[in-house]
Amino acid sequence: MKLKNAIQLLFFAIALMFIAPSCVKEGPMGPAGATGAAGTNGTNGTDANQTCKMCHTATKVDLISTQFVFSKHSSGEAAISEAGNVGCTPCHAQEAFKYVCANNVPATFTLNTTTGKYVNNYNTDITAAYGELGCSTCHSALHTSYSTADLAFTTVKPVPMTMWGGAKVIDLPADGGKSNLCVKCHQPRPFTNALTGNVLDYNALATTVGTVYDGNPSGATNIIKPSYRTHTHYGAIGAVYAGKGGIEFPGALAYTSSTHTTVASCSDCHMGAMNGKAGGHTFSAVGNLTTCNATGCHTTQVTATTTTLWLNPRAEIKALLATLASKLSIGGVEIMNRNGDSATNLWYGITTNNYDGYLNIYDPITNPTAQTYNTKSFKYVGTPPATWSTDQIAYNASLPIITLSNAQMGAIINFQLCLRDYSLGIHNFQYTKALLTNSIAKL
Ligand code: HEC
Ligand code: HEC
Ligand code: HEC
Ligand code: HEC
Ligand code: HEC
């Protein structure tokens, strides 16, 4: 039976129930009873409609959802592609993020006595390794009490740095600690020691003379196996903004932080009034400098042509990045990879040579444009994968071998952090300048 017919039949049946009794003959009516005592007043119920309206109005949830469409939190694809991966989802998927926050999952590494190797503990549970980033990623109490308490943040607690295996902790208490919410995800990932699986000893890179890779793929002391993808991952901002976690070579400049670190919050600059497609819940600051004085911090209006607060500091950091990249070369071949394609290089345009923070190591599968933008790359480390063509294998064999000292490795990490910070020093000028200047001096 079709649904529509079924509904018609149901209505017919109900109608019959009301019609039928009227056909029955009634007897005479009895006398009226005495009036009962008045009942006590009931307690006022909460008006569901009113609590909903606290958030469900045209200017709150409706408008915010419209802005959120422009946020990469919403449009980014990594939440879908990394679903099921317990190591990636703590930053890429909603349920995984809520899991690591609720369970205080530590950022430590521990020795697995069976394999003799260290493992990274910063993982979610396999049952929670999913979920696109949405409103309740950050407001995880939504629809629990239907009060303003529901807008509380999933976390504002200090963030043990996964890059440092928890040995360093970022705490940005300004503005109620809202930046800690952002940094829980916008932080760099760890480099691991290829021999032990433990987090890399970054202090040794900064202060000890040595080698992390000697050029021989089967060398017994190589703690790094360099590849195109030897990188800090993308959350550089957390470390740079907090002024913590770079490779701090002793040098002329002290590792201090700009005033932003203590007085401003990520949302102060990234979630101000909408301006074009930036501000509010787009979370973007691109092309929007109205927040610099709207927050009452800077007294003059900053624009894209302001010299002291925009052009000059950015030009200085851009020049330092270029100098450091030129120092990071072996036999005339650059270690840092260039990628002049604006569609695949997230840091396109930040440096003149369009470095992307990856290493210039030949790999036609993961780095297919290397030969378009780099004059020459380093040879792939190890045996080329079976998927390579004979031409690719032959070309690879003709390339120079990469070697990396402690100092070069430390400088590479600092280059990646300062490039991938995106802001060319606006986030934390002093720390960015110190990392780059002291790295250049070290090389
Ligand atoms: C503290 C703020 C807040 C309150 C109070 C609130 N909501 Fe929501 N509600 C939200 C947010 C945020 C969303 C998600 C919007 C989105 O995904 O774009 C939402 C989504 C919804 C949805 C869409 C369901 C979905 O998952 O897509 C419904 C239906 C809803 N709310 C009903 C209600 C009702 C009914 C009430 C009152 C009893 C209420 N809400 C109170 C914040 C609130
Ligand atoms: C749950 C982890 C998480 C939290 C919390 C988080 N982010 Fe993100 N953010 C991401 C991820 C992941 C991406 C990239 C998404 C993708 O590409 O799939 C991103 C992208 C962004 C982007 C776009 C970057 C670009 O490449 O254009 C901005 C800006 C941003 N976040 C700012 C913030 C701010 C500000 C906060 C705090 C209010 C915050 N985020 C909190 C994980 C997070
Ligand atoms: C500690 C948090 C964290 C972890 C763990 C993490 N990511 Fe990310 N990832 C981020 C953030 C934050 C961004 C976006 C940063 C930005 O654009 O400024 C990002 C960006 C990306 C992007 C780029 C998306 C784009 O816009 O092009 C990819 C791809 C990605 N991550 C894959 C992975 C994979 C695969 C893993 C696991 C092996 C992983 N991530 C683990 C924080 C993390
Ligand atoms: C990446 C983290 C994050 C996500 C995702 C997020 N918010 Fe927020 N939300 C914040 C932060 C941080 C603030 C405080 C902003 C400020 O300081 O101005 C906020 C504030 C709010 C407020 C209070 C602002 C006001 O005008 O009263 C509402 C309502 C809200 N968010 C709703 C939403 C809705 C709806 C979504 C999904 C469409 C969402 N949020 C997604 C981080 C987030
Ligand atoms: C003092 C203001 C300020 C503060 C505070 C700030 N940012 Fe930014 N951020 C900027 C500016 C300016 C840019 C560069 C925008 C451009 O390229 O036009 C930027 C760029 C970015 C980008 C890449 C471009 C984008 O906006 O989509 C991300 C991601 C980002 N910041 C995240 C953060 C996070 C996370 C925090 C907190 C730890 C933070 N920012 C704190 C001003 C700020």
Residue 388 CB less than 6 A away from ligand 4: no
Distance 438 CA to ligand 4 centre (A): 39
Contact 126, 96 (CB under 8 A): no
Whether residue 151 has its Cβ less than 6 Å from ligand 4: yes
Q: pLDDT (tens digit, 0 to 9) for every residue of the chain, 443 residues total?
A: 444 444 443 343 343 344 444 444 455 666 666 776 766 665 665 566 678 998 999 999 999 999 999 999 999 999 999 999 999 999 999 999 999 999 999 999 999 999 999 999 999 999 999 999 999 999 999 999 999 899 999 999 999 999 999 999 999 999 999 999 999 999 999 999 999 999 999 999 999 999 999 999 999 999 999 999 999 999 999 999 999 999 999 999 999 999 999 999 999 999 999 999 999 999 999 999 999 988 788 998 999 999 999 999 999 999 999 999 999 999 999 999 999 999 999 999 999 999 999 999 999 999 998 899 999 999 999 999 999 999 999 999 999 999 999 999 999 999 999 999 999 999 999 999 999 999 999 99
> From the alpha carbon of 186, which atom of ligand 5 is closest?
35
How many Å apart are CA 436 and CA 313, to the nearest integer? 13
Note whether 230 and 422 are within 8 A (CB).
no
Give nearest CA residue, ligand 1 atom 39: 52
Q: Cα–Cα–Cα angle for 320, 323, 326, nearest 5°? A: 150
CA 352 / ligand 3 centre spacing (Å): 24
The atom of ligand 3 lying closest to the CA of 185 is 2
For residue 119, count other CB atoms closer than 10 A to its CB.
15
205: left (phi over 0), alpha (psi -120 to 50) or beta: alpha
Q: Which atom of ligand 3 is nearest to the CA of 235?
A: 12
Ligand 3 within 6 A of CB of 92: yes
Residue 172 alpha carbon, nearest atom of ligand 5: 38
The two tokens of residue 16 are 């019959």
Q: Whose CA is nearest to atom 40 of ligand 5?
A: 266
Distance 242 CA to ligand 5 centre (A): 13
CB of 265 within 6 A of ligand 4: the answer is no
